[in-house]
Chain A
Amino acid sequence: MSGRPVALPGEPEIDLAEARAHGLTDAEFVRIVKILGRRPTFTELGVVSVAWSEHCSYKSSRKHLKMLPARSELVVQGPGENAGAIDVGDGWAAVFKIESHNHPSYVEPHQGAATGVGGILRDIFTMGARPIASMDSLKFGSFDHPRTRYLLGGVVGGIGGYGNCVGVPTVAGEVMFDAAYNGNILVNAFCLGLVRKGEMLSARAKGLGNSVMYVGSATGRDGIHGASLLASAEFDEAREAKRPTVQVGDPFTEKLLIEACLEAGRTGAIVAIQDMGAAGLTSSSSEMASRGEVGIVLDLDKVPLREPGITPYEILLSESQERMLLVAAPGREDELRKIFEKWDLHAVVIGKITDDKRWCATWRDQLVADIPVGALTDDAPVYDRPHAPPKAPPTRVALKRSAPTPRDALRALLDNPNVASKRWVYRQYDSLVLSNTVEGPGTDAAVLRIKHSPRGIALKVDSNPRACEREPYIGTIATVCEAVRNVACVGAHPVGITNCLNYGNPERPEIMWQFVRGVAALRDAALAFGTPVVSGNVSFYNETEGRAIPPTPTIAVLGVLPDVTKRVTQFFKQAGDVIAIVRTSPPSLAASEYETVYGLDGGTLAAIDLVREKALIDALVGSIEQGLIQSAHDVSEGGMLVALAEPCLNPAALVGAEVDLGVHPSDRAALFGEGPSTVVLSVRTDGDLARAEKMFSGRGLEFSVIGRVVDEAKLRVAGVVDEDVCELRTIYEDALPRRLKASD
């Protein structure tokens, strides 16, 4: 059916004012009138406004994202489907992606975070992969801000409530507190699944006349305009009123949907499948049709509804959770329906594939929308927004404070929520279900085994907004280096990247400049490490009342271990082992936690030599693979002294360290600098030491022996600190619980 869609009784007149209320610019309204050759109906205007929202269309970022490298011999699926996929060996592909759910989580932290987890899970199992691991990157405002504890409790409870109930372990993550996020927190959710290569499902609709089936939960009125008005606009004082645009999650139904979709996928009766995420039925149907270069017609009377009286506009824009759209192979609809009914889920034919490349919807025997598929997808507006560096680069005001002793600083940093143990957070997450977790939260990177295979995978998510705020290009390079290094520290070969790019309003040239520089850095670093960027997400408009968050590209890295039994952790193992450090450049206080805590100016960020960074990764992975390394730990938040204390906190053994760094106790950069790339290693004194040293020195990296692991639980750094490890552990472990208890 095509023709002229009807306006329904009671629908408003469509004009510029109505278009603006839907978040379209005047030029965009003119553009859609021109494409249609007429004014859109109210239903069509709603559909176009979500499809052309920043969140769905990537209209400001698309041009730049094309620069990212997406190929390697291991890439099974690059950008273009619901998630990317990398060959991890033995016939398995790892399907993974990270996505933001920032604004919903600020407005309604529990449901916002929960549905963030639910959404990213669906992106993975829609590819036919069983989700096996989740991670989360969380940014909250200052711990002292009145809303932070409420948001922290809500977000962590939401992630746990959903992830635990759906049976996917949360194995790693990061949490940061900074006043820059007081008005706009970040919740970035990552998921990874495994699928046999060759059994991956696609979201490419095909086959003239094939049935389009709706499966999962019924459609309600929740989440309407979540993508357009909530995710694609800045916050203002009316943000609380946006709570109805947040969806409500049902992890139990999601669990049933996972099992049913994977079971249905194995029958071969699914031609194409996509989850109904942002912009629900509209985006899933138009994107599948666009990929397959076909048309689609939807009969909205067939859509399962939670309540009567829901209009076509609402049906098409609803972001009700736990719903999927699929294209069935001819004649196999009943077979699929039976599988979904076994799991007590709806499965209804609601439309069919056509050959006219038009996206049509009917309701009560009337045509209510008729739009070219391309207008909703590839031909949506693309902007080359102006970008320019800020007129005055950010400056730091150095506060006049007397320098603390190294002992006081070490203790203060271990007690700092950004450095301290995140056990309070991760003990609320099931990290064990599915029986693959070899190393869970609390180490440099999570390690999972692949059953029936000697192989394992390693996962880590990192970000460094302080460095990115100082200099977006170098900061982003540093972030990628850190995530890659964390994965290498457990002995895994880094093989792929997914990213979530969180920025302010792209209509401001200085924000767009941060973004463009960040993407350029991501490209350069990904090329240097041979780690293609196979999937990702952009989140703009992270600002409140004109104040943007610092640029926050969140980078998640996948690593592969050919032999998972060779992995190491950060913890010192046995007395007598030699402690060594390897670094790529001199330490610096710029953008360090110490700089923030003690209010000084750590100077400018030095450029990062990616050739040396790659050499460090190769040496680390090579030496761990050969069994030469007992422990490896990346120097990050807090700097060297913290990075020497953390490996002493071995939960399985009482150990300490005696070290001589050869620096004066006033050398704060050496003790607390986080400057690019230092790794703390422990090595057995036998033949391993010489061979390990050669692995690093052979690549032009200085391997400096600085001390030994001891069986007395003391951290002794000559002339700097002499600390009891049990006391340090107490400070480190109590920092979050102590603060949160105080709020009861």
Chain B
Amino acid sequence: MKWGVIRFPGSLDDGDALYAISEVMGQDATMLWHKEESLQGAKCLFLPGGFSYGDYLRTGAIARFSPIMKSVASFAADGGLVIGTCNGFQILCEAHLLPGALTRNRSLSFICERVHVRVENANTVFTRAAREGQVLCLPIKHGEGCYVAPEDELRQMEERGQVILRYVDAEGRGSEAANPNGSMRAIAGVANERFNVFGLMPHPEHAVEKMLGGDDARVFFQSIVESAQ
């Protein structure tokens, strides 16, 4: 299965995502430039972290208008797999491919550290290699990762199983202290209603090698690869 990593101006983890997918996970992956419209036959799109357009207006607010985003929207509408991390998650929310929005961290500071998340729904193409309730240690690094959505919508998302990841402590318990950015319902990752678009604030591309601090995020890549088989 071919992967496409989309590079916006100001993308920062684009090279890391390409490295993780191709060199660590051994998948066929290519970089896609935001000014192009072709997806070059990619079957899974990865929108990486960074500060697209400097995030000077609102995170992801300008990148969603890049030419390639039209192709991403129709690709998703056709059921294609899309995963967005950090700024990629923010762009997918701005583009209304995912519900909700990301706002300033409760602390108002940028936070870079390893946190724990619990897999809330292991019955998706992105998480099928994980166990429900499995606790993963993943890095976050963002200033605007506080997930918000209207209460009604949150309730419906929970009912449909769209909340994929939640911040917890190392033992898997939810607590105020374990929620690093003040996200509503400690939400760290969500899917759309069709479960083919997935956004998360933690950085899976930075958690695939033990030497760099841990490889818990391999389950996401394995899940997608298994789904394609």
Contacts and interface: CB of A to CB of B under 8 A. Distances in A.
Q: Is the interface of B mostly helix, strand, loop or mixed?
A: mixed
B174 interface: no
B211 A438 contact: yes
Contacts of B10: 165, 252, 255-256
Nearest to B13: A433
A497 B192 CA distance: 52
B20 A435 contact: yes
A432 B142 CA distance: 12
Contact of B211 (A166, A430, A449): A449
Contacts of B15: 434-435
Contacts of B54: 165, 250-253
A451 B19 contact: yes
Interface in A462-521: none
Contact of B109 (A250, A253, A428, A564): A428
A313 interface: no
Contacts of B55: 165, 252
B12 A160 contact: no
B112 A344 contact: no
A449 B53 CA distance: 29
Interface string B106-149: 00011111000000000000000000000000010101000000
B141 A164 contact: yes
Nearest to A163: B110
A427 B115 CA distance: 12
Interface string A417-430: 00000000011111
Interface residues of A, number: 32
Interface string A3-23: 000000000000000000000
A56 B139 CA distance: 42
Contacts of A283: none
A166 B10 CA distance: 7
B112 A429 contact: yes
A71 B157 CA distance: 64
A110 to B, nearest CB: 13
Contacts of A256: 9-10
A430 B112 CA distance: 6
Interface residues of B, number: 30
B212 A438 contact: yes
B3 interface: no
B176 to A, nearest CB: 16
B159 to A, nearest CB: 35
Interface centre among B12, B20, B206 (most CB of A within 10 A): B12
Interface in A241-294: 250-253, 255-256
A437 B19 CA distance: 14
B19 A435 contact: yes
Contact of A252 (B19, B53, B110, B141): B53
A342 B209 CA distance: 33
Given A165-B54, A255-B12, A343-B9, A427 B212 contact: no
A286 B50 CA distance: 36
A434 B211 contact: no
B51 A430 contact: no
Given A252-B53, A451-B19, A437 B212 contact: yes
Contacts of A432: 112, 139, 141, 203, 206, 212-213
A671 B50 CA distance: 46
Nearest to B33: A342
Interface in B1-34: 9-10, 12-13, 15-16, 19-20
B67 to A, nearest CB: 14
Greatest chain B CB density within 10 A among A426, A434, A435, A565 is at A435
A431 B112 contact: yes
Contacts of A255: 9-10, 12, 51
Contacts of B111: 427-428
Interface string A159-176: 011001111000000000
B112 A428 contact: yes
Looking at B56, B110, B139, B206, the one whose CB has the most chain A CB atoms below 10 A away is: B110
B70 to A, nearest CB: 19
Contacts of B143: 164
B102 to A, nearest CB: 16
A148 to B, nearest CB: 18
B212 A435 contact: yes
B138 to A, nearest CB: 11
B18 to A, nearest CB: 10
Given A251-B54, A432-B203, A449-B211, 12 more contacts: A164-B143, A165-B10, A167-B13, A255-B9, A342-B35, A427-B112, A428-B111, A429-B112, A430-B12, A433-B12, A433-B13, A434-B16
Interface of A: 160-161, 164-167, 250-253, 255-256, 342-344, 426-438, 449, 451, 564-565
A-B pairs, 6 with minimum CB distance: A252-B54, A167-B12, A435-B16, A165-B51, A430-B141, A428-B110
27 contacts: A164-B112, A165-B54, A165-B55, A250-B54, A251-B54, A252-B53, A252-B54, A252-B55, A256-B10, A426-B112, A429-B110, A429-B112, A430-B112, A431-B112, A432-B206, A433-B13, A433-B16, A434-B15, A434-B16, A435-B16, A435-B205, A435-B209, A437-B213, A438-B211, A449-B211, A451-B19, A565-B211
